Amino acid sequence: MKKITIEEVAKKAGVSKGTISAVINGKNTVKPETRDHILDVMKELNFRPKGVARNLKNGMRDKSIGIIIKDLSYPFYTAIANGAREYAKSKGYSVIVASSENDHEYEKKLSHLFSTKDIKGTIIAPIVEGASEIEHLFKLKMINYPFVLLEDVKGIQANVVAIDNIRAIKKAVKYLMESGHTKIVHFAGPPSSSHTQERIEGFRHAFSESPLVFNKSMIVSIGSDHEESYRKTLEYFKHKNRKEYPTAIVCFNDMQALAVMLALKELSIKIPEDISIIGNDDIFYAKIYPVPLTTIRAPQQEIGRTAAEILIRNIESQKFLQIERVVLETEFVVRESSKVLNH
What CATH number did the domain enclosing 270 receive? 3.40.50.2300
SS3 at position 318: coil
Residues 76 and 15 in one domain: no
Residues 245 and 282 in one domain: yes
Residues 80 and 142 in one domain: yes
Residues 257 and 318 in one domain: no
Number of domains comprising the chain: 3
In DSSP notation, 14-65 reads TS-HHHHHHHHTT-TTS-HHHHHHHHHHHHHHT-----GGGG-TTGGGS-EE
Spatial separation of the C-alpha atoms in residues 219 and 11, rounded to whole Å: 57
Question: 54 in a domain, yes or no?
Answer: no
Contacts of range 205-212, beta carbons closer than 8 Å, 24 or more positions apart: 205/166, 205/170, 206/169, 206/170, 206/173, 206/174, 206/177, 207/173, 209/170, 209/174, 210/174, 210/177, 212/177, 212/182
Question: 338 in a domain, yes or no?
Answer: no
Residues 295 and 178 in one domain: yes
Question: 335 in a domain, yes or no?
Answer: no
We report the CATH number of the domain holding residue 23 as 1.10.260.40
Question: 37 in a domain, yes or no?
Answer: yes
| pLDDT one digit per residue (tens) for the chain, 343 residues | 567 888 888 888 888 888 888 888 777 788 888 888 888 888 788 887 765 334 334 444 579 999 999 888 889 999 999 999 999 999 999 999 999 988 888 998 999 899 888 799 999 999 876 555 688 888 898 888 999 999 988 888 999 999 999 999 999 999 999 999 999 999 999 887 888 999 999 999 999 999 999 999 999 999 888 999 999 999 999 989 999 999 999 999 999 999 999 999 999 999 999 999 999 999 999 999 999 999 999 999 999 999 999 999 999 988 888 999 999 999 999 999 999 996 5
The parent domain of residue 213 ranges over 165-299
CA angle 71, 98, 86 (to 5 degrees): 95
